């Protein structure tokens, strides 16, 4: 299926999740009725969160294989926004669950003091804070590794740039050497031609002298003077 299909599916799931969260916050009535309503909406929110996560995974896979860079960037931006919404909704669900458990316990178990339940809720909230702290620590380590990887890539890029400059200088030197060799070849070829012409002139003169002697004619007459 196309990226557009998975994006529409993801948006629909997020909308359903937001609707259930709204119903969860607005549910009211008698204590028992409100508790049942909130539990119903809370369970629905949990299911919708799972559906949104699954739709987000499908959308992420579609973004990874799309070839259009503009669509890929827009898809990644949308996924980041959805991830933020998921975290916010998850926090809302957890808070609602804590309140629901607290309210249910206070109304169903009269033998337990309200302070003890508040302590239990505080303990659960502290656990959530510790979990977030661990996640942030993991994120910091990931960012640190990514930063080192980026620095390594930049260093390699600088090395490649330096090597390219050195290669360019070597290429210029080779061109100059090749030009010098060609000029030397032309000079040698010109010298050989001059030598050949000189030897030829001498041979012509010798032949003319010999012919003059054989014909017993004056040398000057033989050469046309």
End-to-end CA gap in the chain:
103
Query: Cα separation of 185 and 37, whole Å?
Result: 99
pLDDT at 72: 79
**pTM, two decimal places:** 0.38
Tokens of 202: 């001498």
Contact between residue 79 and residue 59 where contact means Cβ atoms under 8 Å apart: yes
Instruction: Report yes or no: 31 and 48 within 8 Å, Cβ to Cβ.
Output: no
Provide the residue-wise pLDDT of the chain in tens; the chain has 225 residues: 566 777 777 777 777 777 777 776 666 544 445 566 667 777 777 777 788 878 888 778 777 777 788 887 888 888 888 788 777 777 777 777 776 666 655 554 545 555 665 666 666 666 666 666 677 677 667 777 766 766 666 666 677 667 667 776 766 766 776 776 677 667 656 656 566 556 666 666 667 766 666 665 554 455 554
Q: In whole angstroms, how far apart are CA 76 and each of 81, 86, 90, 145, 177?
A: 9, 15, 21, 21, 54
Domain ranges of the chain: 3-112
Q: How many CB atoms lie within 10 A of CB 65?
A: 8
Confidence (pLDDT) at 161: 67
Give the pLDDT confidence score for residue 30 in this predicted structure.
Answer: 43
Q: Return the axis-axis angle of helices 3-26 and 31-65, rounded to nearest 10°.
A: 160
């Amino acid at each position: 299926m196309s990226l557009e299909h998975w994006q529409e599916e993801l948006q629909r799931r997020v909308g359903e999740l937001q609707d259930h969260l709204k119903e969860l916050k607005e549910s009211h009535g008698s204590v028992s009725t409100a508790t049942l309503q909130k539990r119903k909406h809370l369970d629905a929110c949990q299911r919708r969160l799972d559906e949104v996560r699954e739709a987000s995974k499908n959308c992420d896979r579609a973004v990874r294989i799309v070839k259009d860079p503009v669509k890929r960037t827009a898809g990644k931006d949308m996924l980041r926004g959805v991830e933020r919404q998921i975290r916010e909704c998850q926090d809302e669900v957890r808070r609602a669950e804590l309140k629901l458990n607290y309210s249910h316990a206070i109304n169903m178990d009269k033998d337990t003091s309200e302070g003890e339940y508040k302590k239990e809720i505080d303990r659960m909230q502290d656990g959530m804070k510790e979990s977030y702290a661990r996640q942030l620590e993991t994120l910091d380590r990931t960012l640190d590794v990514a930063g080192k990887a980026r620095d390594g890539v930049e260093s390699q890029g600088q090395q490649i740039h330096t090597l390219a400059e050195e290669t360019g200088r070597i290429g210029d030197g080779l061109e100059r050497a090749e030009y010098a060799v060609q000029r030397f070849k032309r000079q040698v070829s010109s010298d050989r031609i001059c030598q050949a012409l000189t030897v030829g002139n001498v041979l012509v003169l010798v032949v003319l002298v010999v012919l003059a002697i054989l014909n017993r004619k004056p040398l000057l007459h033989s050469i046309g003077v």
